Amino acid sequence: MKQLTYFTLLAVALLSAACSKNDDKDVADPLQDSSQFVTLADAVPDAILEIRYYGTYNFVGTRIDGYLQPTALLTRRAADSLRAVSSDVMAQGYRLKIYDAYRPQRAVDHFVRWAANQSDTLMKAYFYPDLDKSVLFEQEYIMEKSGHTRGSTVDLTLFDMSTEKELDMGGTFDWFGPESHPDFCGNPETDEYIGNNGQSPAARSITAEQFAHRMVLRQAMLRHGFKPLASEWWHFTLKDEPYPDTYFTFDVKQL
């Protein structure tokens, strides 16, 4: 009887230890938990994907760490709101085109390493011709944390279904400069175009039509619960994002 009791207690102890170990494993790395994320192509099937960081046409010039497949992920809540945006712009003759959504922390770390390497200017002519690379941290073009890593931020533009081309926004995604600001050449609060406002170091400008195109995207995103960023016309974050303080680490791949 004593021997049976001993082995019973031993089994219970081992089982408890195993459960505790599994619980610790789950709790130890919640940043790897993608259970509340969805694949954007499933959640918003009408969206066009051009995942820039999976390819080489981006400001670094190489595939970015953590992008294992050319797909986009978002939290379920953000994806639901983006589906409403998609329906909105489709009624206006457009489709959403996605450049980036959830971004793992190791991708952000890749950006930081690249920015610290002053000799790597492979893509300068395409994305930051007016800037010395040494100011990228100072001017917050590159930061050690990104809202994208919280899972409810998306970078996007509009695709014109009548012309079968991207809508002309007067500037490229990930351009480092004031030309990317929503208030460049206009007032985004009133949708008023004001022309060249002296922000561009190279005296660049955008047309009234290009500014209006930016506003079409902006207003659709705002109508469905997203908030803009003051420095990038293409960047929006869900106002009531579910993980405002969590920076996830799982890779970008089909869920």
pLDDT at 6: 44
Any domain includes 30: no
Any domain includes 19: no
Q: In sequence order, which ranges of the chain are alpha helices (DSSP H)? A: 2-28, 40-43, 76-90, 105-116, 124-127, 208-223
Q: Are 134 and 124 in contact (CB under 8 A)?
A: no
Dist CA 146 CA 105 (whole Å)? 8
Say yes or no to pLDDT of 175 above 80: yes
Confidence of residue 230 (pLDDT cuts 50, 70, 90): very high
pLDDT at 28: 74
Residue 232 annotated as catalytic: yes
Confidence of residue 188 (pLDDT cuts 50, 70, 90): very high
For residue 13, what are its two tokens? Answer: 């102890």
Q: Which of 140, 179, 189, 232 is catalytic?
A: 232
Any domain includes 247: no
Say yes or no to pLDDT of 1 above 50: no
Any domain includes 1: no
pLDDT at 34: 97
CATH number at residue 44: 3.30.1380.10
Dist CA 176 CA 248 (whole Å)? 25
What single-letter amino acid sits at 82? L
Q: Is 9 exposed, middle or buried (0-12, 13-18, 19+ CB in 10 A)?
A: exposed
Cβ within 8 Å of residue 100, ≥6 positions away = 51, 52, 53, 72, 148, 154, 155
Any domain includes 196: yes
Mean pLDDT, the chain, integer = 92
Average pLDDT over residues 191-208: 96
Any domain includes 165: yes
Report the share of the chain in percent with pLDDT over 70: 89
Any domain includes 140: yes
Q: Between the CA of residue 186 and those of 179, 190, 208, 242, what are the distances in Å?
A: 11, 9, 8, 32
Compare 180 and 15 and report the one with higher pLDDT. 180
The pTM of the full predicted model, rounded to 2 decimals, is 0.89
Q: How many domains does the chain have?
A: 1
Q: In sequence order, which ranges of 29-101 are alpha helices (DSSP H)? A: 40-43, 76-90
Domain that holds residue 92: 35-238
Say yes or no to pLDDT of 9 above 60: no
pLDDT at 24: 45
Tell me the pLDDT tens digit for each residue of 32-73.
999 999 999 999 999 999 999 999 999 999 999 999 999 999
Any domain includes 84: yes
Tell me the pLDDT tens digit for each residue of 72-129.
999 999 999 999 999 999 999 999 999 999 999 999 999 999 999 999 999 999 999 9
Tell me the pLDDT tens digit for each residue of 119-163.
999 999 999 999 999 999 999 999 999 999 999 999 999 999 999
Dist CA 50 CA 62 (whole Å)? 15
